Amino acid sequence: MTVSPVTAPAVPVRPVAATPPRLEIRHLSRGFGGHAVVDDVSLRVMPGQVTCLLGPSGCGKTTTLRCVAGVDMQDSGEILVDGRLVCDTLFRVPPERRSIGLMFQDFALFPHMSVEGNVAFGLTGTRAEKRARVAALLERVDLGRYIDAWPHELSGGEQQRVALARALAPGPKVMLMDEPFSGLDNRLRDGIRDQTLEILKEEGAAVLLVTHEPDEAMRMADEIALMRGGRIVQQGAPYNVYNAPVDKAAAAFFSDVNVIRGTVRGALTDTPFGQFLAPGVPDGTEVEIVFRPQHVKIDFDRQGSGPLPTPRDGTPARGVVQRARFMGADSLVEFRMDHDGFVLKATVPNVFLPKPGTPLWLTIRRDRCFVFPVR
């Protein structure tokens, strides 16, 4: 007798619901006087994530923040917190009910209130409950001893930390920060930024930080959204945005760049440093080869007046030193190139100050060059 195997009845598998973004912006637009200041901006920020809106002044960063905060009304688009709509063009949750904290450049502390009064502003509960919450937050920012002090008695860095405690007091799900560290001197800025970032991540808030400083964005952000003319032109992890820019302007926003122009012939472009590949670019197209000064290599073993060195990283080209400046961590050397006389910048670690008129052979790292069609 053959015994048939017993098959267990199939159990339907329920898909696991994906965690919604803590903050989501969908196709946000805002204009003034017929001019689009924010143009179809979309962003997703997860709990504990820091996203930087990075770009030059006037590109729409602060207007985007104001729409998310509820102090300005978008012309189109939606804003959601934890998957729930807080604002579109018809429905609008009041700013105070959005669970969104705000930090600004000028700290905006109330001068007629003590530190305790400032941090407790907007809290509910008994006096004892509010004081306990304030005391706990001030301890986290190393200001517990100043609970009864007044804002004018504090330094700029201490006022910034009070502003952070006040923004965190209601337990917001989203923290909006509009260049909050620009009023601090360099000596204080790095330490306070790092402390602020640590606390915000511990709180699990989604952070949207506005800045025009690439160094600040690289230091703080999990993700950078590069804005230009009201639009996000590139978005991704700092490493990717820096090392794979979408165009010359994106590369140049993070550092000085060198640019060599050429024309494509057979998917190749001739330059003083040899030929560069330009796959997919039609013949006759003018392109720009973009590379950063730190990716210029100087041949220290041979004088520029000597024989042409053996190529090790592309074809060498000769330049004559125009000037050299010590910048602290490195030296910046400017060369007048033999080919067409264009100026090329190179950075060298530590001190390297060759005299003007010194000829040297140069090469560039091919893997750090970007080829963009001229627009």
Q: What is the pLDDT of residues 182-230, one digit of tens each?
A: 877 777 788 888 888 888 888 889 999 999 999 999 999 999 999 999 9
Mean pLDDT of 239-262: 95
Whole-model pTM: value is 0.85
Mean pLDDT of 322-349: 93
**What pLDDT is attached to residue 6?**
46
- 5: confidence class by pLDDT, cuts 50, 70, 90: very low
The structure tokens listed for 215 are 């160094």
Mean pLDDT of 50-58: 95
Q: Residue 107 pLDDT > 90, yes or no? A: no
Q: Residue 15 pLDDT > 70, yes or no? A: no
What are φ and ψ of residue 202, in 5° steps? -65, -35
- 108: confidence class by pLDDT, cuts 50, 70, 90: confident
> For the chain, how many residues are written?
375
CB 65 within 8 A of CB 104: no
Residue 364's nearest CA partner among 324, 341, 327, 335 is 335
Rounded Cα distance between 138 and 41, Å, is 36
**β-pair partners for 43:** 25
Rounded Cα distance between 106 and 108, Å, is 5
Amino acid at 51: T
